[in-house]
Structure 1
């Protein structure tokens, strides 16, 4: 007797993956990817051309005349102390703001998910309510507060603002992920004598690595590409790369020989960070969609 079993994928991610594996769909995705990457290629080629070449013809002409390409724009850009200082300011803002948000939100999320304390649910509702508060609402009050504390126009002031407005979403995201951890796993660890700190460090963090990596990528990209907060809270000595490039537009107009390499330099770092953590990012996005 032959038993026929249905081997078709039953979950929607599996069905979607099966459909995307067809040759026609893959060809469409390749074409779409090429269309999306064309502006990036144009920016890169423009950054390697002189201002006269960029003004006289489109960037695609460099494909037929590679002699137009050189690294002179990057040499000039890196020789500008204002741009290099802005680049390091961006690093000094983005790395601490991302690290603090990830660490503090992971601790708070574990407490909201698995620790019992008075007012836990009410406090978590406050955190959720803060998600709907737009950044623009807090700009002027926080600017006044930072002025009184001596933090206005400093890198720590910009970092603190990003941390404060990044924590509600981070806590909400990680709390929901940590809450999916089987209770039996945590109870077994407690019965073996594990402290809450040890359970958090050696059990919860490894299990929650995909969600933490996704959060780190989101937070880093948001802070690295931010201009609104930095434009208000940073001065000329602490301004990040986005504000420095914006000031170049204001002062010199369409100086593409400075803006193109600066924009590409600003783009390379977040792209590298994304590709470094893309495996964990995909796991975090797909977590819970497949049973």
Structure 2
């Protein structure tokens, strides 16, 4: 085996390992989000997703039952309960009567309290509170305990999000915003890209430079001026300044510069000979665009469609400014924020809400893979 062959194999192995490492590093946050979305809320709030397969230690407190639950036995009177409830596999590690003395007793040890009463807490959470005389207390003591809680996985977070009021309507609203806001800029950008790539007209490079300059304009800087323009136009033509039409136009305007730039560069790289041959055969620019450029540009069109769909679907800022809130207007991102509460008390549903929200983009991405392959095959040119 030659030295060159050994070096090439070593280089190839290093590249594969590097790619695998980057893939794992990229998918790790998604894996953590998925695991967190099916964890119990209490465990999710106490430990990270990486500890989801091991028992977690939790501090709890529970007040013992009242006197009316007592029963008589041969040695006196007894009150029995279970700190965990029946059918659990939780285990007591230590317990006490104060938070500062939570490790005073071990499971199975008996503690003496007032009037000769004894309390025993067992490892499975069972409590025996015994007394020689009848219980007459009106307020029971509290038991503080450390417990090992086994991992618990549940779909309650998903069920809570899916059954919440307004989620179904928000899903429809998001589709209503996303679909037109994806197709409109692609349609306009395809025509503009063809003109900038293959048509000769005065000021073509100036328009291209202006479009490239618009790409670097921050979206946040243009929100208020664009909204004011919509408001002024709306007063003239009688269209509300916050409606589906305005949010479609806003997404179209914000997405067009990048779309035109990407599609123009792709169309300009197509074989010039076949374009000129079609033009020499008498084909018009519209015929060349529809029958040749669009099929050959399908990979670029599909790529931008995916990015635009993801951007609009996950958008909150543009929808909040140009669409507003209320019945028939709230999108999924805004609805999830409302489910959290004003103080974020219900933050545990963010993980399940995120996966519910990305379900449609994942379906779109996987379905568009066919168009990538078909577009590549359509764009191949066979030699004579």
Query: Quick check: 2:340–2:349 contact (8 Å CA) kept in 1?
Result: no
- Which runs of 5 or more structure 1 residues have no equivalent in the other structure? 1-6, 9-17
In the alignment, which residue of structure 1 is the partner of 2:170? 86
C-alpha displacement of 1:170: 0.9
In the alignment, does 2:333 pair up with 1:242?
yes
Counterpart in 2 of 1:59?
A: 49
Match in the other structure for 2:127: none
CA 1:24–1:115 in structure 2 vs 1: closer, same or farther (change >3 Å)?
closer
Corresponding position of 1:145: 229
Which residue of the partner structure matches residue 185 of structure 1? 274
Partner of 1:175: 264
**Richer in helix (by share):** 1
Structure 1 residues 33 and 187, CA, compared in 2 at 3 Å: closer, same or farther? closer
Of residues 355, 368, 376, the one that matches 1:264 is 355
Displacement after TM superposition at 1:242 (Å) = 2.0
Which of the numbers 285, 306, 310 marks the counterpart of 1:221? 310
Which residue, 23, 40, 43 being the options, matches 1:50? Answer: 40
CA contact (8 A) 1:248 1:259 kept: no
Aligned to 2:155: 71
The question of whether the paired residues in 1 share the 8 Å contact of 2:190 and 2:263 is answered with yes
Structure 2 unaligned regions, length at least 5: 56-149, 380-384
1:132 corresponds to 2:216: yes
Q: Which residue of 2 aligns with 1:154?
A: 243
Query: Which one has the bigger strand percentage?
Result: 2
Deviation at 1:197, TM superposition (A): 1.9
Change in CA separation of 1:123 and 1:50 when aligned onto 2, cut-off 3 Å: same
Q: Does the 8 Å contact 1:54/1:256 carry over to 2?
A: no
TM-score normalised by the chain length of structure 2: 0.62
User: Residues 79-118 of structure 1: matches in 2 within 5 Å?
Assistant: 79-118=163-202
CA change 1:254–1:124 in 2 (3 A) is same
- Cα pair distance change 1:248/1:75, threshold 3 Å: closer
Whose relative contact order is higher, 1 or 2, with alpha carbons under 8 Å and at least 6 apart?
A: 1
* In structure 2, C-alpha distance between the alignment counterparts of 1:36 and 1:131, rounded to whole Å: 27
**Larger Rg over CA atoms:** 2
TM-score normalized by structure 1?
0.79
Instruction: Compute the displacement of 1:53 (Å).
Output: 2.9
State the 1:40 CA deviation.
Answer: 1.4
| Structure 1 pair 250–77 and aligned structure 2 pair: CA distance change class (3 A) | closer
* 1:231 pairs with 2:320: yes
Q: Deviations over 1:1-42 (max 9, x none)?
A: xxxxxx99xxxxxxxxx7897334323432332232222122
- Tell me which residue corresponds to 2:295: 206
Checking the alignment, whether the CA contact within 8 Å between 2:39 and 2:152 is kept in structure 1 is yes
Separation (CA, whole Å) in 2 of partners of 1:79 and 1:175: 45
On the 8 A contact 1:230/1:240 being kept in 2, the answer is yes
Q: Distance in 2 between matches of 1:59 and 1:48?
A: 10
Contact between 1:50 and 1:257, CA under 8 Å: does it hold in 2?
Answer: no
Q: Quick one: structure 1 residues 126 and 212, their matched pair in 2 at CA, closer, same or farther if it must change by over 3 Å?
A: same
CA contact (8 A) 2:53 2:151 kept: no
Between stretches 233-242 and 249-258, larger displacement belongs to: 249-258
